[in-house]
Amino acid sequence: MESAHGSVVTMIERTRAAGEDSVFERMKAQGDKRCSFCEQGIRCALCSQGPCRITAKAQRGVCGIDADGMAMRNFLLQNTMGAATYTFHANEVMRTLAQATPGGTYEIKDPGKLELLAGVVGEAVEPTDTLPKRVADAVVREFNRDHQDPSPWVEALAPKPRLEVWKKLGILPGGALHENMYATSSCLTNVDGDYVSLALKGLRLGLATAYGVQVPLELAQDALFGTPTPHAIKVDLGIIDPSYVNIVVNGHEPMVGAALIAAAHESEAQQAAKAAGAKGLRVVGSIETGQELVQRFEVDDVFVGLTGNWLSSEMAVATGAVDVFAADMNCTVPTLADTCAAHGCLLIPVSDLIGVPGAEPAMVFKPETAAELARQLIARAIANYPQRAAKGNGDGRPVLRTGDAVAGFSTESILGALGGSLDPLLDVIKDGTLKGVCGLVSCTTLRDSGQDGQTIAIAKELIKNDVLVLAMGCGNAALQVAGLETAEAREMAGPGLAAVCELLGVPPVLSFGTCTDTGRIMLLVGAIADALGVDVPALPVVATAPEYMEQKATIDAMAALAFGLYVHVNPVPFVTGAPRLVKLVTEDLPGVTGGKLAVETGPKEAVAAMLAHIDAKRAALGI
């Protein structure tokens, strides 16, 4: 099946019957057989002497690099793209934080988080009126710390045993921008051809991204929009009602979406939508922008929830019910303008990163003019509604599912559910009620199976075996739409996890946020390790990326491996033609950082290996 979600399958069938292009058609067109050299990571086109391929007769590229160096260099370049994109997001958030004022478009909703971030960056709380800008400026300065100058943030935030490991390995990082410059420069032809050296630089960059980008990014977003707390949300394609003016916010940043939600609640905007013939005006969340919003904003008759992850975005437009698709910095497919044109929708980039052939002129987000941008987007959507409605391609559409989920689990809300202490969680892990914890941080991909099939199967198998799952990224949306983040889902859990869920009133899969929350979960896992008095690799904790897809996922994996976690990934990374590199990350790394990369394409086999790891760690701890 091409998707695990019935609503998406229905829309695939509808678009296919209409002869429309989509990611599902393009995957079929690529076929099952791909370039074997590319799949193995042993093809390089970085210089004009190539492209070079490693073969039995040609065991080095023209420059002299071998298979292991070539594969790791290719992978490190993916890491640099992921780290750069996270840093772009963080920089946009800091620009927004700097503009925060009481009563403004953006204001401080959680002063405690701002003060916490101020403590990390070394800024005095007083005077409070200048604190948002001073903190934002300090974060941006830290991005530029030299790579040879270890970041005090890592020293302040990381578990002490981890710091000692990283110091011995020489991977204690500086600022994220300088680490990225250092890593990228190392990938130049005839600079660094040593796979071990390149791997260490990837681990450094992972730590710089987690602690120097993702942690301040999320703390700042909490300060601006509120720290997530559990609440009910709506999900799936059925949340889009064609009788309303609908604005979809898509990407990875919540800033435009938050401004739109505020503006759409104004009576003047609702009256204008009704005057255009609609029932009203709605804001619809898509992929990680939607995920950021549902973590922090209540779902109501204006902000209606989350459609799903990136593989659902074309299908959302194809419902014929969307008036404006506002695209910020990530995950807008290059053909989306064609899909929008076929269904009467305006594709409007709101980030200068986004370039899609045929899109409307960009309306680029600037924090100081965000309220006006929101009003302009609403005006465009309302003006478009009569034309979109007249097109009629939303008429007669099949009834699409609307599902329920609970979102908003943060470290603070988890502690709140536990009575303010980690002790109850540690107690149920120690006595075996819970076997362990899994951080599921994933994209979604069509590489080996249909949309979200692997993610759902692995999550179901984990909770059946009494492993609590904390979900992030597009994988989080997969599990929300699949119904695994509801109280009723405890019926699929093992007896121990089900009992914990019933006692605390939580689902067996906790919605922990987006891919940017990788840094946040590292802080939580570090706190658990500190509470038990052990180093991170000793914990009955695993990470899984059942359907990783793009470059940001690769830098998350490097951070987790440096952190000392067992990390399962699927599909198979493009490094299999590099035997010494494969041995390093799958066999040798546990003796280096304590982390381990586990590659497994079968869900049951993957979970069996995770459970074996968890059982071994429990036995070593004597629990």
Q: Which two tokens stand for residue 262?
A: 């505020």
DSSP secondary structure code for residue 57 in this structure: S
Q: Which two tokens stand for residue 439?
A: 């951080």
Q: What is the pLDDT of residue 397?
A: 78
Contact (CB, 8 A) for 455 and 478: yes
- pTM value is 0.97
Contact (CB, 8 A) for 236 and 400: yes
User: Phi/psi of residue 494, each to 5°?
Assistant: -65, 165
Q: What is the pLDDT of residue 452?
A: 98
The closest of 32, 12, 48 to 339, measured between CA atoms, is: 12
- Domain layout of the chain by residue ranges: 58-225, 237-391, 408-621
User: Phi/psi of residue 161, each to 5°?
Assistant: -60, -35
The closest of 612, 588, 550 to 82, measured between CA atoms, is: 550
Burial 194-230 (b: 16+ CB within 10 A, else e): bbeebbbbbbbbbbbbbbbbbbbbbbbbbbbbbbbeb
- Looking at the structure, give the CATH architecture of the domain made up of residues 58-225: Up-down Bundle (1.20)
Look up tokens 């404006």; give the residue.
Answer: 324
Q: What is the pLDDT of residue 591?
A: 97
Q: What does the DSSP assignment read for 402-464?
A: -EEEEE---HHHHHHHTTSSSHHHHHHHHTTSS-EEEEEEE---SSSSSBTHHHHHHHHHHHH
The closest of 589, 613, 605 to 169, measured between CA atoms, is: 589
Q: Which CATH class is domain 237-391?
A: alpha beta
Look up tokens 């329920």; give the residue.
Answer: 404
Whether 237-391 and 408-621 share one fold: the answer is yes
The closest of 540, 598, 603 to 568, measured between CA atoms, is: 598
**What angle do helix axes 215-225 and 131-143 make, rounded to 10 degrees?**
160
Q: What is the mean pLDDT of each run of 10 residues along the chain (623 residues)?
A: 96 97 97 94 97 97 98 98 98 98 97 97 96 98 97 95 98 98 98 98 98 97 98 98 98 98 98 98 98 98 98 98 97 97 97 98 98 98 96 79 97 91 94 97 94 98 98 98 98 98 96 94 96 97 97 97 98 97 97 98 98 98 95
Show Cβ contacts of residue 361 under 8 Å, excluding neighbours closer than 6 positions: 348
Look up tokens 């971030």; give the residue.
Answer: 117
| C-alpha span between 270 and 281 (Å, rounded) | 6
CA 152 remoteness from chain centre: 26
Q: What is the pLDDT of residue 449?
A: 86
Q: Which CATH number is 408-621 given?
A: 3.40.50.2030
Q: Which two tokens stand for residue 168?
A: 């011995």
Cα-based distances in Å from 622 to 123, 161, 424, 528: 43, 20, 18, 16
Helix (H, G, I), strand (E, B) or coil at 469: strand
Using CB atoms within 10 Å of the CB of residue 109, give its burial: 0 to 12 exposed, 13 to 18 middle, 19+ buried. Answer: middle
Q: Which two tokens stand for residue 593?
A: 């950082």
Look up tokens 């941008």; give the residue.
Answer: 373
**What angle do helix axes 474-481 and 287-296 make, rounded to 10 degrees?**
70
CA 596 remoteness from chain centre: 21
**What angle do helix axes 67-98 and 215-225 make, rounded to 10 degrees?**
30
Bridge partners (DSSP) listed for residue 407: 231
